[in-house]
Homo-oligomer: A and B are copies of this chain.
Amino acid sequence: MPGNVSSPGATVVSRVLAVLYAFDNGHRRLGVTELARRADLPVPTVHRLLRELVAGEALTRDSGGRYAIGRRLWDVGMLAPEQTELQQVASPFLSDIHAATRATVHLAVRDGAEVLYLDRLSGRASVPVVSRAGSRLPLHSTGVGKVLLAHAPAQLREDYLATDLRRPTVHTITHPERLRRQLAAVRREGYATTEDEMTLGACSIAVPIARAASGDGEQEVVAALGIVVPTLKRERTRLLTALQVAARGIGRSLP
């Protein structure tokens, strides 16, 4: 019996998405076989889908027969309102912070149980920074992550603390009780810091960006703003002020 042995719930649309989602930061250029394995689909099926996607300019195909996300999908992605509206409003404020501090500046939101970086202005200082726009990191090991975790729904926060927390460095705080106390401090003080917790040699400060929620005076944290510096020993107050001014400005500019 040749032909259809598709698993249940398999539509063409879901297969197309499986192929697209098979690409990631470490795998931006992939061949048919590897895509098929990553998408868990038969090779000929993937091959046909790829041909159609290339014909539709969604993917590109290089001379070596490797496929990559194409310009038109980049275009489409840039239209995602959730990400780009905030990014656009925040852009001039990020520039201000960058001008004032010369540090790497980050704009990030919480996506499930991860930090999702929406934008980054790179500092020229020799601080190792792993994030880039579109990348994801743990919530408990970065400044913006701690801010977002501190202001996440209590249930999600507790669930997160109950999981086995990653340890990017030996300084990463993974003890639930200690982290819980730190998050309470973040809510109380209005900012979060890290020292060598994500990358050795990198410290960070971050503050929440809040929008006045529906009608009443209640505030809702929608994003976080942070900078990465070699050390927090000096200038902590000045950096914090620059961040808070910008965060307030962004919050006021939100629709």
Contact = CB atoms under 8 A, between A and B. Distances in A.
Interface string A55-79: 1101010000000111111111111
Nearest to A132: B88
Contacts of A98: 95, 98-99
Given A13-B49, A52-B13, A20 B99 contact: no
Given A12-B13, A56-B14, A91-B121, A81 B68 contact: yes
A168 interface: no
A23 B77 contact: no
Tally of this chain's copies: 2
B69 A124 contact: no
Nearest to A133: B78
A83 B74 contact: yes
A134 B73 contact: no
B134 A75 contact: yes
Interface of A: 11-14, 16-17, 20-21, 23-25, 28-29, 49, 52-53, 55-56, 58, 60, 68-84, 88, 91-92, 95-96, 98-99, 102, 111, 116, 120-124, 132-134
6 contacts: A14-B55, A17-B53, A23-B79, A69-B77, A84-B134, A91-B121
